[in-house]
């Protein structure tokens, strides 16, 4: 029932910026507005890691190594969560996944590829 669609990924040079979007659908806006949403990323051969999360109340947490470069935000009117990525580095290359926690389970998008070239 719940669907998450990521967009905004692509190829960018080191030092550049990208903004990822995750649009949620299949439920009422009110359920998303009170749900924690977040971004994870995964590199081939590596474990999926948490990038950032934002609660329904607006509290944010960003991985320590990404603080100062990445920012998470949400627009509840659009049922959308964003990930602003600045000063990108080649090591940021990964598939980025959006997630939402509703009741007692997590829902995931299909991911969007971010590739940072030197």
Residues 19-53: tens digit of each pLDDT:
999 999 987 767 899 999 999 999 999 999 999 99
pLDDT computed for residue 36 by the predictor: 96
From 26, 28, 24, 49, select the one nearest 39 (Cα to Cα): 49
Mean pLDDT of the chain, nearest integer? 95
* Model pLDDT, residue 115: 98
> Per-residue pLDDT averaged across 53-81, rounded?
96
Q: What is the pLDDT of residue 29?
A: 63
């Amino acid at each position: 029932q719940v669907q998450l669609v990521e967009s905004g990924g692509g190829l960018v040079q080191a030092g550049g910026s990208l903004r990822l979007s995750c649009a949620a659908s299949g439920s009422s806006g009110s359920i998303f507005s009170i749900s924690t949403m977040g971004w994870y990323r995964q590199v081939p051969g590596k474990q999926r890691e948490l990038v950032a999360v934002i609660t329904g109340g607006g509290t944010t947490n960003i991985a320590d190594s990404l603080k100062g470069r990445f920012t998470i935000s949400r627009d509840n009117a659009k049922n959308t969560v964003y990930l602003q990525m600045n000063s990108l580095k080649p090591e940021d290359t990964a598939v980025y996944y959006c997630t939402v926690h509703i009741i007692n389970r997590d829902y995931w998008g299909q991911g969007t590829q971010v590739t940072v070239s030197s």
